[in-house]
Structure 1
């Protein structure tokens, strides 16, 4: 097995990043990043625990819901979820976080790395209200690195091309998955109905 266990071996295999690639990394939120963040309804939040275990959590809200407080500070509201709080426990113990912003139909993505902390209230919470619901918690990210990620992954995957999407009927429903994984006595149809009802009425 060709196990790579050093930076030197990795660089020998992959090579060095082009100077242009290195120069695209900036330490602030410029006007273009502001525009993309304002149009992004979906962001992935990556965190890690002190022991190195990682977590990536999807965050979705109407486009424009992520606040740009200044050229180095972002705020993401928390919405009702499963209460496992994996990301939040990680942030409390290890403040390093990464964000990946997606804009529907756009193959390039915006990557942000920085230091995160949690807040339970602040004057800007009123700007985080969606559908009349004010969040109880928000993630504040102090930007250290920001850069555009090229389109290759999305072009290879054809993510936005409906012609490549699988037929939904060929995939198990959430109810089916939970029934089988948790050995639940309810039918998959009953679970799906309950899940859909809860999702519709507890988004915010």
Structure 2
């Protein structure tokens, strides 16, 4: 373990960090046999059904220097293709052209996926190796509203397992009565204006963002 001076945090007391798996295990204990065996390493019927019902997946990537990125991906249910027990494909829809995830995959193919189904507290975790695809026989199946994606992310599945409901229960994510009032949070237009010192009004930025979301989803 490592002790740190807590002066940087503005709080009193000592901060102790855990620096080895052995220390972690002493604190957390060992996982049960069922938990260790739940990674089935492929997409079975249950995983396929969950992916088919999921309109939202988080894509985690990392650059060669270890810096990480998590990108949300939204589709109509069934928009992520499952080609076989070890391959799935996520279309890359129009975005802001930062291409953080795609740049990372080109340099480091290891990815993590978290599939979410609204109202369902369990999630599906899939880990594997990805490729950025520009042409493939299945690209036509990714067409939406007459538009094809220019790129897709193909993932070779190496780990696959369901995650329990505790995070969603703690967060009460699906309970509308626990949601904050939208008016209590600034709009993205206000945030961008303040953070980037933009000359345009927050309303104008919000209007442009809404127009882009309407016209450039696909």
TM class by smaller structure: over 0.9
Residue in structure 2 matched with residue 99 of structure 1 by the alignment: 113
For residue 17 of structure 2, give the secondary structure of its aligned residue in structure 1. coil
Q: Hey, what's the Cα distance between the residues in 1 that align with 2:75 and 2:42? A: 23
For residue 2 of structure 1, give the secondary structure of its aligned residue in structure 2. strand
Displacement after TM superposition at 1:85 (Å) = 0.8
Which residue of the other structure, out of 162, 165, 171, is the alignment partner of 1:148?
Answer: 162
| Bigger-Rg structure (1/2) | 2
Q: Give the aligned CA root-mean-square deviation in angstroms.
A: 0.6
Structure 1 stretches lacking a partner, 5+ long: none
1:171 aligns with 2:216: no
Which residue of the other structure, out of 132, 138, 142, is the alignment partner of 1:118?
Answer: 132
1:202 aligns with 2:202: no
Displacement after TM superposition at 1:48 (Å) = 0.4
Which residue of the other structure, out of 36, 41, 58, is the alignment partner of 2:55?
Answer: 41
Which residue of the other structure, out of 12, 15, 26, is the alignment partner of 1:12?
Answer: 26
Runs of 4+ in structure 1 displaced over 3 angstroms? Answer: none
Structure 2 stretches lacking a partner, 5+ long: 1-14
5 Å matches for 1:75-90? 75-90=89-104
Residue in structure 2 matched with residue 193 of structure 1 by the alignment: 207
Displacement after TM superposition at 1:103 (Å) = 0.3
> TM (normalized to structure 1)?
0.99
